[in-house]
């Protein structure tokens, strides 16, 4: 049985929900899967895994620090395994109305995925670029205050709100399709 490890770092919850959704798909595709939030859980050894998926949310153009540390720590071993990187970010839903979505996505792919792989000499079999959440329940006072201005915009656009104050711009089907294809590549 193909063994997969999914590790991630999240600030507002999108990457966590995404990691869980990827894990569900992996299970349905017959993979043995372990999911670790690197903020609470430690990974000591990755030798058992055939596929390692590393995910992070993006804030002010930066990954969370835990998955970055993971890539650094296991860099050598990861070079000899199937890997995949994914991010949850705001590129699909830029806050600046003048911003062009295609340009934002291209920027995120180049800087937050391809550059990250290059930094650790990895050749991932897949990159996942997903939307994020605007989670006012987890924001500090400063961003809560400044970003409150976009609430009407999110409401008007009909962005789903699975719980009050949490706006989810992710496309679940895109995540599931990506995970299905990745599981099939891992099993090949």
Please state the closest distance from residue 5 (CB atom) to ligand FMN, in A: 18
Confirm or reject binding of residue 6 to ligand FMN (CB under 6 A): no
**Window 137-176: residues binding ligand FMN (CB under 6 A):** 139, 143
For residue 150, what are the β-bridge partners?
Answer: none
Site string for ligand FMN, 42-71 (x = CB under 6 A): ---------------xxxxx----------
SS3 state at 13: coil
Tokens of 117: 């792989």
Rounded CA separation 58/54 (Å): 13
Instruction: Please pick, from the candidates 4, 5, 7, 12, the single residue that binds ligand FMN as defined by CB under 6 A.
Output: 12
Stretch that binds ligand FMN, among 21-29, 38-46, 88-96, 153-161 (CB under 6 A): 88-96
Please state the closest distance from residue 25 (CB atom) to ligand FMN, in A: 18
Confirm or reject binding of residue 13 to ligand FMN (CB under 6 A): yes
In 29-88, which residue ranges form alpha helices assigned H by DSSP?
65-73, 75-78
Rounded CA separation 39/9 (Å): 7
Q: What residues have CB less than 8 Å from 135, skipping those under 6 apart? A: 12, 13, 14, 165, 166, 167
Instruction: Please pick, from the candidates 4, 33, 85, 88, the single residue that binds ligand FMN as defined by CB under 6 A.
Output: 88
Q: What residues have CB less than 8 Å from 153, skipping those under 6 apart? A: none
Site string for ligand FMN, 98-137 (x = CB under 6 A): ----------x-----------------------xxx---
- Considering the complex, state which of residue 13 and residue 124 has its C-beta at the smaller distance from ligand FMN: 13
Long-range residue pairs from 59-62, CB within 8 A, at least 24 positions apart, any chain? 59/11, 61/111, 61/112
For binding to ligand FMN (CB under 6 A), which residues are involved?
10-15, 57-61, 88-91, 108, 132-134, 139, 143
């Amino acid at each position: 049985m193909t063994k997969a490890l999914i590790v991630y770092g999240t600030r507002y919850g999108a990457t966590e929900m995404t990691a869980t959704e990827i894990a569900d798909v992996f299970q349905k595709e017959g993979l043995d899967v372990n999911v670790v939030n690197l903020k609470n859980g430690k990974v000591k050894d990755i030798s058992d895994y055939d596929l390692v998926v590393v995910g992070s949310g993006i804030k002010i153009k930066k990954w969370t620090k835990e998955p970055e540390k993971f890539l650094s720590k296991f860099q050598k071993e990861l070079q000899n395994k199937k890997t995949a990187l994914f991010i949850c970010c705001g590129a699909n839903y830029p806050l600046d109305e003048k911003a062009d979505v295609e340009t934002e996505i291209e920027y995120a792919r180049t800087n937050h995925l391809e550059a990250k792989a290059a930094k650790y000499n990895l050749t991932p079999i897949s990159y996942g670029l997903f939307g994020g959440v605007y989670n006012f329940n987890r924001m500090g006072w400063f961003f809560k205050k400044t970003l409150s201005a976009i609430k009407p915009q999110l409401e008007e656009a009909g962005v789903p709100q699975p719980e009050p104050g949490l706006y989810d711009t992710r496309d679940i089907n895109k995540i599931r399709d990506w995970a299905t294809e990745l599981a099939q590549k891992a099993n090949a």
